[in-house]
Structure 1
């Protein structure tokens, strides 16, 4: 299933926040004690105002990128320091009357909506993407998988046609391919005898691909073929049919796809019957153009 850029960004922003909260917060609790810590447990008191384990989790969501750049043993202290600064500055702002301004109240409403959005995503959408659902998606992926031809080939890459012809002549005369690749090839992979591993159609540049897949017998060596990288002499090593990747390799991708699909479907249902008015006609059209499902804004 394809997703519009709008929905990918909208969903990814919530997914990232949820993953930050679920992945980082337990680590702080584990650093503090070997057993689970209650969200209401007090970590510090600042002028009579408390900082709790829940506060650390909230801060971890907002500062996920900064925390990823920091050694794990420093993260908890960093968050506490940030929250101390926040408490002190928040009190100063309240004392100055900033909490009573219309702009602050608008910001507060935005933050409340954002928090509820995250909570709804975590409790309603994400919980539907179970291990069983991911496994079912993998089973369907395997059932729908269509094997494609794959080959394993080695090559020797040189700068000129004359060099390539000389390499081909040496191979025809019985020279060892791997040894000649190490000696002559200018490809970075020459150290392993020029072995390129398995690949399917569409993975290599066109002239190389045509020559490689044109080889029919194992051990057969191609005539020199030119690409933008130089001149290749190619040997066919193995043939096989592709197989689906292991569950462990593709499970994270499938989980992300399920999250996106569930997000998309849930938002579409929530939007059903909701009236949207965007007075700016150009903006309204731009929003409608980015919306994959649902009625355009009016």
Structure 2
């Protein structure tokens, strides 16, 4: 009977103690009237980079972080309220809020339909765009190009001639340019290649880089990669486009009023930050 009474009394005592509110605004300390909150402690823990520190027992980590925040708050309270301090605080506040907005926008994963639509848009020309595999010899004058073309036509190996004479970065690679589409090359070069047949050697072609003798090796139609191979990249692109579109919308809807007549030279007036 006595034991049951004691247990009941203990339970009543526990239930009568008000529970601390478990939210980010819970105050864990005050320094000169300034509140340090549970949310600030959590954010501080999230910013810890040292694995050993992050792995400390919770009570020890709590005491260490709270002591650091108390010290920080006490020292910060002694800071002079200058334009420089106010400007830095406001920039940090805006940056934090802007980052939070972007993170919120980016939370939603792109849907399969969005990824498919972007894939279709990116590769809508697949199968209709011609790609070229070619090599060239690049020299400074038309006379040099003509002479080198004659040398190749006389039986000299194109790669050997390119390696020995070409001034371009492809020279050490025996003139090889790999695969490319016409829009990746300057117009005269692209026009020349587009008119050639595989195995053909061009007449000298002048571009802003000099004179080229081109050998077209082969052509192919550009193929779209399987969606599964590029899905992650396309999903990131869709997400980036959604974030940029939302930022553009927010800026467009903002009431922006720029002050006219402020001298840009004032950017160099660091002394203005010292006044109270």
Name the TM-score class by shorter chain. Answer: 0.5 to 0.7
Give, in angstroms, the shift of residue 239 of structure 1: 0.1
Choose the corresponding residue for 2:67, options 34, 45, 48: 48
Query: How high is the TM-score relative to the length of structure 2?
Result: 0.59
Q: 1:148 to 1:32 in 2, by over 3 A?
A: farther
Work out whether 1:149 is the aligned partner of 2:130: yes
- Consecutive unaligned residues in structure 2, runs of 5 or more: 1-45, 263-276
How far does the alpha carbon of each residue in 1:57-103 deviate from its partner, in whole angstroms, 9 at most, with x for none? xxxxxxxxxxxxxxxxxxxxxxxxxxxxxx55x5334135x46x899
- Asked whether the equivalents of residues 163 and 174 of structure 2 are also in contact (C-alpha less than 8 Å), the reply is yes
Check the 8 A contact 1:42/1:50 in 2, yes or no: no
Relative to structure 1, the CA distance from residue 110 to residue 263 in structure 2 (aligned partners, 3 Å threshold; closer, same or farther) is same
Match of 2:221 in 1: 241
Look up the match of 2:52: 32
| Deviation, structure 1 residue 238 | 1.2
Q: How many residues align?
A: 215
> Hey, what does 1:91 align to over in structure 2?
74
**SS state of the match for residue 186, structure 1?**
coil
TM superposition score normalised by structure 1: 0.55
Rounded Cα–Cα distance in structure 2 between residues aligned with 1:37 and 1:270 = 44
Match of residue 190 from structure 1: 171
Instruction: Give SS of 2:257's match.
Output: coil
The structure where helix makes up a greater share of residues is: 1
Question: What is the CA distance between 1:48 and its match in structure 2?
Answer: 2.9
1:267: how far off? Answer: 6.8
User: How far does residue 161 in structure 1 lie from its aligned partner after superposition?
Assistant: 1.9
For residues 206-240 of structure 1, give each alpha carbon's deviation from its aligned partner in whole angstroms, at most 9, with x where no partner exists. Answer: 22222122112x21101112222222111111101
Match of 2:193 among 187, 212, 216: 212
Describe the superposition over 1:135-179 as per-residue Cα deviations: whole angstroms up to 9, x where unpaired.
445543456344411111111112222221221112222221111
Shift in alpha-carbon separation, 1:249–1:43, aligned structure 2, 3 A = farther
Q: Could you say if the C-alpha distance between residues 106 and 187 of structure 1 is closer, same or farther in structure 2, counting changes exceeding 3 Å?
A: closer
Match of 2:161 in 1: 180
- Is the CA contact 1:129–1:259 (under 8 Å) kept in the aligned structure 2? no
Contact 1:151/1:199, CA 8 A, preserved across alignment:
yes
1:129 and 1:255 in contact (8 A); partners too: no
Which has more radius of gyration?
A: 2
Separation in 1 of the partners of 2:221 and 2:167? 30
Out of 114, 125, 128, the position equivalent to 2:108 is 128
Change (3 A) 1:149 1:37: farther
Residue deviations 1:31-69 (CA, integer Å, cap 9, x gap):
438x98899983884893349xxxxxxxxxxxxxxxxxx
Give the 5 Å matches for 1:162-173.
162-173=143-154
Q: Provide closer, same or farther for how the CA distance between residues 40 and 151 of structure 1 changes in structure 2, counting only shifts above 3 A.
A: farther
1:3 corresponds in structure 2 to none
Match of 1:69 in 2: none
How many Å apart are 1:201 and its aligned residue?
Answer: 1.6
| Alpha-carbon distance change, 41 to 214 in structure 1, aligned in 2, over 3 angstroms | farther
CA RMSD of aligned residues (A): 4.3
Whether the 8 Å contact between 1:224 and 1:232 is mirrored in structure 2 is yes
CA 1:184 to 1:262, structure 2 compared with 1: closer, same or farther past 3 Å?
closer
* In 1: Cα distance, 2:59 partner to 2:99 partner: 20
